[in-house]
Structure 1
């Protein structure tokens, strides 16, 4: 194995004792660290605690995941203020985006889904990323991604990470031209669409992730999602790109370090 970084994991969604144990296991698994994203204020606070316990292994991203009910105006203002006050301890704004899966489920039932309030909330997070000069970690797939790209460009945010991306070739081309990054999950082993994306996307803009604790199928069926799974992802990327495992691992790790500024000393 070669050194790797899990570029997107919900560390706070594991039982806290297990999350801490996983962080302790990273070195033996040749995982240098994790970019831990957050879902709401309580989630951000949990991520913050883990970051403080493992400052050299957990890099925090703070945000509000879109696949849930909207916060009240007061709750959103409190979260934005909380993030702004902690800008020096985080590497990114995230996870933020648009509620594609919730919206399509509601619409499939014949009900109307009001997406505009989610777009307005996302724009506040993108504006905050621009203000703080931070990358943004995005949950934005299919047609939602084009809306998000428009917002990023309106606010001049160039450092965008579309995690576990799915979408049409036209959107992929927009992302490539804008220099946005994507991250690949273990489903590259069994999802042809993901394999096609890897073939088409520049390796210089690819990272790897687990999105843990989300479970995977194929060879990972029934297994706990663990950061060590990124090595299996790198193996498939190397195969699809026709490169050695070592070269691929070095490029992907370098991408992640460069995008998130992980080579900088800890600020605490």
Structure 2
């Protein structure tokens, strides 16, 4: 597969990879991965993702962003608040030249994560501020949209966002097609291989709007085993199967899509332009 695989959404800066990162990287390269778009969830990860880019400049494409859910000790999470973002906003601008996207940002309206209207309002406030940053820096956004697919897409359209990846999208096909009309892309991790729940969605989204992701260390083939970027081929093969295409066709198309979406990612420069 000559153009390589592009993981458009992974969490390589997560603590789960700290003990054996060099081996994780090696396995990714052996699997044919050419670019890792590394997103973060909290400001504490900002410096880590920049260190990763320094260590692997031809592989790691860094992003800054605050996830709609923030840790509050142990495995507990809470809705993000404006006071989480405000003190670190300047870091986006200070490092904007090194970033390929703003992410992972978005909305998570699952009842146990955002039980009150204030929680949802706070998430929206932080989301819109980060969308504004992405426009100022001329960067795409890498987006989480759990239990909030329609409002996420509607908000991005209202805010004038033209370049976005909706990762691990699980909304209705009709909602996804609204995103397609806006020019947005959708990515799916290896977890989609576990059952056929996303098949209808994957069939209806045009291949020209699909990218590959792992969301590692989460959302692997086995939910009890740490996922790695090296598993990206599972997503490629599954999408190919659902669409009745060859894995090679899906790989080449998704590489073109990734290059259009993340033009600042260095390693994408070797991919031929699909328009040629």
TM-score, normalised on structure 2?
0.86
2:147 aligned with 1:138, yes or no?
A: no
Range with bigger deviation, 242-251 or 56-65: 242-251
| Contact 2:64–2:99 (Cα < 8 Å) also in 1 | yes
CA distance in 2: counterparts of 1:165 and 1:172, whole angstroms: 8
- Offset, 1:229: 1.1
Matches within 5 A, 1:1-268: 3-13=4-14, 14-68=16-70, 69=78, 73=82, 75-101=84-110, 104-105=111-112, 112-114=116-118, 115-142=120-147, 144-217=148-221, 220=222, 222-261=224-263, 262=265, 263-264=268-269
CA distance in 2: counterparts of 1:6 and 1:197, whole angstroms: 20
Question: How many residues are treated as equivalent by the alignment?
Answer: 257
CA distance in 2: counterparts of 1:242 and 1:73, whole angstroms: 45
| Contact 2:17–2:24 (Cα < 8 Å) also in 1 | no
- Structure with greater helix share of residues: 1
- Offset, 1:75: 4.3
TM-score, normalised on structure 1?
0.88
CA distance in 1: counterparts of 2:126 and 2:176, whole angstroms: 24
CA distance in 2: counterparts of 1:45 and 1:214, whole angstroms: 21
CA distance in 1: counterparts of 2:155 and 2:99, whole angstroms: 22
CA distance in 2: counterparts of 1:239 and 1:260, whole angstroms: 26
- Offset, 1:33: 1.9
CA distance in 2: counterparts of 1:63 and 1:88, whole angstroms: 15
Structure 1 regions of 5+ residues with no counterpart? none
C-alpha RMSD of the superposition: 2.1
Please state whether the residue corresponding to 2:90 is helix, strand or coil: helix
**Partner deviation per Cα, 1:11-49 (whole Å, 9 max, x = no partner):** 111232322332233322211121100112111111111
- Offset, 1:72: 6.1
| Contact 2:5–2:251 (Cα < 8 Å) also in 1 | yes
| C-alpha spacing 1:223/1:134, structure 2 compared with 1 (3 Å) | same
- Offset, 1:60: 0.5
CA distance in 2: counterparts of 1:234 and 1:215, whole angstroms: 15
| Contact 1:61–1:94 (Cα < 8 Å) also in 2 | yes
| C-alpha spacing 1:106/1:99, structure 2 compared with 1 (3 Å) | closer
- Offset, 1:178: 1.0
CA distance in 1: counterparts of 2:149 and 2:171, whole angstroms: 8
| Contact 2:80–2:126 (Cα < 8 Å) also in 1 | no
Range with bigger deviation, 175-184 or 253-262: 253-262
Structure 2 regions of 5+ residues with no counterpart? 71-77, 271-276
